[in-house]
Structure 1
Amino acid sequence: MPKLSHVCLAVGLALGCAPSLVAFAATPASKPAPAMSNDATPADPYLWLEGVEDPKALEWVRERNAKAEAEIAGTPEFQKLEADLRAILDSTDRIPGVTKIGDYYYNFWRDKTNPRGLWRRTTLDEYRKPAPKWETVIDLDALNAAEGRAENEKWVWHGAECLKPKYERCLIALSRGGADADVTREFDLETKTWVEDGFFRPEAKGGLQWVDRDTVYVYTDFGDGSLTSSGYPRVVKEWKRGTPMASAKVVYEGKPTDMYIAAYHDLTPGYERSFVSRTLAFYNDELYLRGKDGKLVKLDVPNTANKSVHNQWLTLELREAWKLKDREYAAGSLLVIDFDKFMAGNREFDVVFTPDEHTSLSAFTWTKQHLVITLLSDVKSKIRVLTPLGEGGWKQSLLDGVPAVGTTSVSAVDPDGNDLLWMTTTDYLTPTTLLLVDVGQTPEKLKSMPAFFDAEGLVTEQQFATSKDGTKVPYFIVRRKDLAFDSKAPTLLYGYGGFEVSLTPGYSATVGRAWLQQGGVYVLANIRGGGEYGPRWHQAALKANRHKAYEDFAAVAEDLFARKITSPKHLGAQGGSNGGLLMGNMIVQYPQLFGAVVCQVPLLDMKRYSKLLAGASWMAEYGDPDTKDWEFIQHFSPYHLLKDDAKYPPVLFTTSTRDDRVHPGHARKMMAKMEAMNADVRYYENIEGGHGGASNNQQAAHMAALAYTFLWQKLK
């Protein structure tokens, strides 16, 4: 069942979520973003760069793109790297991840021949083979050609929502040029054709969710007043086939100050229920059960808890301690209770996980008979299997086959039909492996990625830096075993530190080929603001405490110096989205620590961020700059912390014109301001690509090659 969780919303800020669950953007992508506002600061000479598609602004973009291309992309080294990265991204040896829909296993696939991608399917027996036979269901390149779509207007896949239990029809979400705003079309899965006069949602924020074959919930832009101040749906309606969307029946209306309103229907036989989700802000939402009479009943649980319902079970992930009657449940705990009993007044929750100083809940999934939870113990994975014992609690055991170091993730294959799990294992130097696990049985290895770079002689280690306030901050280092420890190694330090997102070890062919194989050292910092140690780790760097995330990152850099791994002139930093804000603060607050910085799709003007695109939805993370919160926000607003007499490290800013989540004006204005200071800066803006920066493998390879070539030029 779809779940509008804070995990999805948070990851969406940086990585994106399934469009059928959440879509991010404040205005339809076909229109320029509303750049000018009545309270705009007149002293800002670069405000005009917020006009996303303004011809003058795009001319400015193209001029700087050309300069960056001339400086970075004109070398044989760049061209070789770009070709290698493109070959990796297009490789048919990659593991095709699949989702079970009915009797088939579906995969979305992009390669050199299919740059926009194929939605295809196969059987499990066929999937087990080294080279499965696939049946194409939707060919996006053929669709774009048939509709005559221009290059920067081509469809980008945003996902499919298929109708249980027969799976004859699907709602397909497609994005124009990679923006968060998308359209939804109805598709016949049996005939593999678009349904004539079927359900269609025009380009906007939101989505459609099946209720039955002839009914959907729709939450989208219905016109004036139908969006929240964050630019997301404020109204959800029930829409019947054959009627205009405008005449659909209102199910729920949120307030303009809410963040996101949606509804969904659980179609699992025996557990058919409808829910309305009201997200007031990050980490603050309400869940309502919708009765057959249309009446809504709010679940009496904390707004800050992540809530989900699976069959007979209600689960709560607590972000704050909760005192209930004579019991107090710790923040970070996972609670489970029978849903119908809860709605009848029972409050006797089972506590299936309680965190400790080293261990936090990362994720959970249900199979037919088990609850499987993924834990992080000092940022290393452990998997527990929990089985309900009627009225007698839960049996617990560890899942076999989980490596001691690295990242393991699991997801249910068919939670209504069996106890099978997909399990992936990975670390920095070991290509990702996919296994099929029948709980209680020996895992079956299905597929492994090939080695895309030479890891011979490399080693991974975990260290802990001491931050300014004494907090121990974990980080991972990937280096050569025979490293000289002479402070001269070109080193790349990566971080994010926000929205309770955890960064865990994983095999990255791009990092391996572009950095490690060149002789560089790669470091990943698990700074506060993330979720590596649960809600407490995230909440330690919220709002007025944001500086602690930046102090953590700086502490890791200084620890690298103390260990003689590298030195400031050989240390680079990289981050995107909220990590781009992190990079902005490294540039302006810790310039002495870095020899180069790559700042990607960043937030930088924290005075205006809440007025640009989806920015208002992040005030629970950063604060409201139009209130007294500005007293602390101004201390981590890079655009306002720039000083004419300061010396800044070389910087590459990258963003996307089609990013309708984090406004490209942030990067544009920071670039223009630093350029006017004669700082060592360069800029590249992909004309399409959305918040991920690229909408196909060619663009992804080009953007990555620009970043790594720049870093290598400056740090070697």
Structure 2
Amino acid sequence: MMKSLMFGAALAVFSAPAFAQTPPPHFPADLSPAGVRAADDHLALEQVDGAEAMAFVAASNERALASLTGDRRYETFRQQAFDILSATDRIPSPSFLGDGIGNFWQDATNPKGVWRRTTLDSYRTDAPVWETLLDIDALAKSEGRDWVFKGAACLAPDETRCLISLSDGGKDAVVVREFDTTTKQWVADGFVLPEGKHRLSWLDRDTLLVATDFGPGTLTESGYPYIIKSLQRGQGLPDATEVYRGEQADGGYGVSASVYRDKEGAVEAVLFSRPIDTFRSETWQWVEGRATKLNLPSRVGVQGTMGSQLVFTLDEPWTLTTTTLPEGSLVMATLEMLRQADPVVSNNDPMVIFSPGSRQSLQDTAVMSDRIIAVVSDNVVGTLKVFTSSEEGVRHPVWRVTEVAVPANSAVGLGDSSKARGEVFVSRQGFLTPPTLSLIDAATGSIAALKSASAKFDASTHVTEQFEATSSDGTKIPYFVTRPREMSGPAPAILFGYGGFQVSFPPAYKPEMGKLWLENGGVFIQANIRGGGEFGPAWHQAALDGNRQLAFDDFAAVARDVQARGITSPKQLGIYGRSNGGVLTSVSVTQHPELFNAAVIESPLIDMLRYHEMPAGASWIGEYGDPRIPEEAAWIARYSAYQQLRPDTDYPRIYITTNTRDDRVHPGHSRKFAARLGQMGHDYLYFEDTAGGHSNDADPVANARRWARHYVYLSQQLMD
């Protein structure tokens, strides 16, 4: 429920930023790619391991560590974060593995982790008996590699043969090896793929469908594959048989093959996805060795199959003959109808299973044999629904919905699902409520509790509320505030946002934040700005391309609103964002430095006029626009923080941090922004870790240091 509580001043009227008429000193006179390059005096920092770049990193790291790790709070924060990240009473994240339960686990003894399994009955107990399948610490030591476990893809129905993905240092690119869970050994004649950004699916025990780097000319400009091949056991990649080809100019994250199966493991459909850009794609079905394009809209999310029927979500309205299905809907259609070039819509084919309201969105689904489990967000709060057909034996029956009771004002998430078992893992949590894990029986809709996480910080001192801010165009922007229950005036606060790629941020338990920030009297604010998926596709698309400024306006509106309510003040407000959130935070601090006194900008995109030049930036053109097109370069340039920095503006001391081995968002963004801040005489901190990749999932030891640095900086800026 929205609150009207006011701590102090009347709410301010927000207006869009007034852009200065005089261009910044490093603003390109010519916005063509050549002109942008000519105006960039820090291009050498884009060389990942270049001598000048690494010298800059070394000097910057020494300065940052002296300030951060030398702080009296650092060791306490580091130890507290490590205790949380390595705690043995965490809920082991489960996946279905054959007739048992699999889990990947990291702790103080095994910081790189072990992949292990147990039975469901044992998992239910307080002390499950685990059998180790693969010890990543031992493997890394024996092979002299900085291996990071990136997951296992196992062949249904028995799931004894698994493709293990291993990253060297945490990169997105992985080496793949075949593993046998019965022998707990690598398969002697098994599939092995060299390092790459692979897209893999099991077709059968001796066949993989592979999209990867097949040699020169087989990757898009973003570095992703556009060719799918069938790889037989014993074959090398050069001998694989091509089954589908997109085009080298394709955008997005590369082609992929998905194999959908029934509860017995039999193949129901093989689909190929060909991204045209970040969000638009073509969907093809592989039938009897031939790919046929399905008559689906370009903005669609395939959720699964039920026999000969496809279940999918619409990210745009879909018009067929006289019928228009609304965006955001969950839809079912027969594959036979979708294969027709000029489909005839009849007998409720296709049909809408669920269509969300204006403040709702479909967040997650699990397609079972005869029903669908779904999480629906209602004003950014999770609800759980089971959709079942009301009639047997009818091609497209009427669907009914059953609500499954979950705690109010919480985030609900679906974990792994099993058609064979008819079960789905479900998690529930809130900002002040530790996660609980349950198992839902799809056939009955009953939900049984499995595990409850212990509290990692004292939540009794704080309360969570939801408010709304009014953005520059009058749109109401929801946000959550977790604050001390007793407040006598403005308090130090962190404002978090993302606002991109249709990613939603519901209430979530953040134990490191709770321990290192809330327990010390801080406030945490989470803004659900446009660009995200909180209210479905329209909420995302409202901030695409030339409308990106609206996401920044939304964030500034929330900052102004919490200050007007007396929750915090400009001197006490800091912002945090990573990846796409780094676009948000770098722009926010350059457009509205008067609103903030701290900014943690992590693994960010910042140079938006050259982002497409740095791997794998071109894959995001569908989100941000194409700087090679003059009209689009013009509106990107108006917000791109790297070009908009000014020497005569009073910015707060900014903390920028990234990772040398981040092969998703290039470290050049962070390096160049930091270098330009220093060049203009602004105070800043820059730290670049040497391992971990974009996901920061290398090990809890490194992650504890990372969180300690963040909160030391925020405490220095906002609490001292």
Deviation sequence 1:282-307 (CA, Å, 0-9, x none):
21111111122x21111111111222
Deviation sequence 1:85-128 (CA, Å, 0-9, x none):
00100001110011112111100011111011100000001001
Match of 2:644 among 634, 641, 655: 641
Match of 2:609 among 607, 624, 637: 607
2:303–2:366 contact (8 Å) kept in structure 1: no
Aligned position for 2:7: none
Aligned position for 1:650: 653
Looking at structure 1, the residues matched to 454 and 669 of structure 2 have their Cα atoms a distance apart, in angstroms, of 39
* 441-450 or 52-61, which deviates more: 441-450
1:426–1:507 contact (8 Å) kept in structure 2: yes
Find out whether 1:192 has 2:188 as its counterpart: no
Find out whether 1:48 has 2:44 as its counterpart: yes
Looking at structure 2, the residues matched to 612 and 412 of structure 1 have their Cα atoms a distance apart, in angstroms, of 34
Deviation at 1:38, TM superposition (A): 7.1
Matches within 5 A, 1:182-581: 182-259=174-251, 260-268=254-262, 269-292=265-288, 294-312=289-307, 313-340=309-336, 342-343=338-339, 345=343, 347=345, 348-388=349-389, 389-390=391-392, 391=394, 393-411=397-415, 413-418=417-422, 420-439=423-442, 440=444, 442-484=446-488, 486-487=489-490, 489-581=491-583
Deviation at 1:341, TM superposition (A): 5.2
> Amino acid of the residue matched to residue 654 of structure 1?
T
* 74-83 or 135-144, which deviates more: 74-83
> Amino acid of the residue matched to residue 374 of structure 1?
V
**Aligned partner of residue 195 in structure 2, secondary structure:** strand
1:367–1:412 contact (8 Å) kept in structure 2: no
Deviation at 1:354, TM superposition (A): 1.4
Aligned position for 2:114: 118
Aligned position for 1:175: 167
Deviation at 1:694, TM superposition (A): 4.8
Match of 2:693 among 681, 690, 708: 690
Aligned position for 1:92: 88
1:155–1:176 contact (8 Å) kept in structure 2: yes
Looking at structure 1, the residues matched to 505 and 195 of structure 2 have their Cα atoms a distance apart, in angstroms, of 33
Looking at structure 2, the residues matched to 148 and 136 of structure 1 have their Cα atoms a distance apart, in angstroms, of 21
Find out whether 1:671 has 2:663 as its counterpart: no
Aligned position for 1:21: none
Cα separation, partners in 2 of 1:343 and 1:222, compared to 1, 3 Å: closer
Find out whether 1:104 has 2:100 as its counterpart: yes
Looking at structure 1, the residues matched to 314 and 441 of structure 2 have their Cα atoms a distance apart, in angstroms, of 29
Deviation at 1:197, TM superposition (A): 3.5
**Aligned partner of residue 400 in structure 2, secondary structure:** strand
Q: How many residues align structurally?
A: 672
**Aligned partner of residue 270 in structure 2, secondary structure:** strand
| Aligned-pair identity (%) | 42
1:205–1:232 contact (8 Å) kept in structure 2: yes
Deviation sequence 1:244-270 (CA, Å, 0-9, x none):
220111111221111311223334444
Aligned position for 2:633: 630
**Aligned partner of residue 281 in structure 1, secondary structure:** coil
Looking at structure 1, the residues matched to 667 and 657 of structure 2 have their Cα atoms a distance apart, in angstroms, of 9
Aligned position for 1:27: none
Cα separation, partners in 2 of 1:693 and 1:105, compared to 1, 3 Å: closer
> Amino acid of the residue matched to residue 243 of structure 1?
Q
Deviation sequence 1:379-425 (CA, Å, 0-9, x none):
0111121102343733433433311211112346422332x221211
Deviation at 1:325, TM superposition (A): 1.2
Looking at structure 2, the residues matched to 398 and 462 of structure 1 have their Cα atoms a distance apart, in angstroms, of 27
Cα separation, partners in 2 of 1:606 and 1:692, compared to 1, 3 Å: same
Deviation sequence 1:429-460 (CA, Å, 0-9, x none):
11111112224365322111111001112111
Deviation sequence 1:169-195 (CA, Å, 0-9, x none):
111111110001111111112101011
Looking at structure 2, the residues matched to 364 and 648 of structure 1 have their Cα atoms a distance apart, in angstroms, of 44
Looking at structure 2, the residues matched to 564 and 306 of structure 1 have their Cα atoms a distance apart, in angstroms, of 42
Looking at structure 1, the residues matched to 92 and 435 of structure 2 have their Cα atoms a distance apart, in angstroms, of 12
Looking at structure 1, the residues matched to 246 and 509 of structure 2 have their Cα atoms a distance apart, in angstroms, of 42
Match of 2:590 among 576, 588, 591: 588
Matches within 5 A, 1:13-162: 41-149=37-145, 154-162=146-154
Looking at structure 1, the residues matched to 239 and 621 of structure 2 have their Cα atoms a distance apart, in angstroms, of 34
Looking at structure 1, the residues matched to 398 and 519 of structure 2 have their Cα atoms a distance apart, in angstroms, of 47
**Aligned partner of residue 157 in structure 1, secondary structure:** strand
Unaligned segments of structure 1, at least 5 residues: 1-36
Looking at structure 1, the residues matched to 171 and 226 of structure 2 have their Cα atoms a distance apart, in angstroms, of 20
**Aligned partner of residue 627 in structure 2, secondary structure:** coil
Looking at structure 2, the residues matched to 342 and 207 of structure 1 have their Cα atoms a distance apart, in angstroms, of 24
Looking at structure 1, the residues matched to 138 and 35 of structure 2 have their Cα atoms a distance apart, in angstroms, of 46
Deviation at 1:274, TM superposition (A): 2.2
Looking at structure 2, the residues matched to 309 and 317 of structure 1 have their Cα atoms a distance apart, in angstroms, of 10
* 188-197 or 390-399, which deviates more: 390-399
Looking at structure 2, the residues matched to 422 and 168 of structure 1 have their Cα atoms a distance apart, in angstroms, of 21
> Amino acid of the residue matched to residue 173 of structure 1?
S
> Amino acid of the residue matched to residue 87 of structure 2?
S
2:96–2:416 contact (8 Å) kept in structure 1: no
> Amino acid of the residue matched to residue 266 of structure 1?
Y
**Aligned partner of residue 520 in structure 2, secondary structure:** coil
Looking at structure 1, the residues matched to 175 and 195 of structure 2 have their Cα atoms a distance apart, in angstroms, of 4
**Aligned partner of residue 446 in structure 1, secondary structure:** strand
* 315-324 or 392-401, which deviates more: 392-401
2:328–2:536 contact (8 Å) kept in structure 1: yes
Aligned position for 1:34: none
Cα separation, partners in 2 of 1:140 and 1:235, compared to 1, 3 Å: same
Deviation at 1:39, TM superposition (A): 7.2
Cα separation, partners in 2 of 1:475 and 1:384, compared to 1, 3 Å: same
TM-score by length of 2: 0.91
Deviation sequence 1:515-555 (CA, Å, 0-9, x none):
10110000000000000000110111111110000000000
Unaligned segments of structure 2, at least 5 residues: 1-32
1:529–1:540 contact (8 Å) kept in structure 2: yes
Cα separation, partners in 2 of 1:682 and 1:48, compared to 1, 3 Å: same
**Aligned partner of residue 638 in structure 2, secondary structure:** helix
**Aligned partner of residue 221 in structure 1, secondary structure:** coil
> Amino acid of the residue matched to residue 581 of structure 2?
G
Looking at structure 2, the residues matched to 159 and 441 of structure 1 have their Cα atoms a distance apart, in angstroms, of 29
Deviation at 1:343, TM superposition (A): 4.0
* 645-654 or 270-279, which deviates more: 270-279
1:491–1:566 contact (8 Å) kept in structure 2: yes
Looking at structure 2, the residues matched to 441 and 225 of structure 1 have their Cα atoms a distance apart, in angstroms, of 50
Aligned position for 2:664: 661
> Amino acid of the residue matched to residue 416 of structure 1?
A
Looking at structure 2, the residues matched to 401 and 233 of structure 1 have their Cα atoms a distance apart, in angstroms, of 43
> Amino acid of the residue matched to residue 80 of structure 2?
D
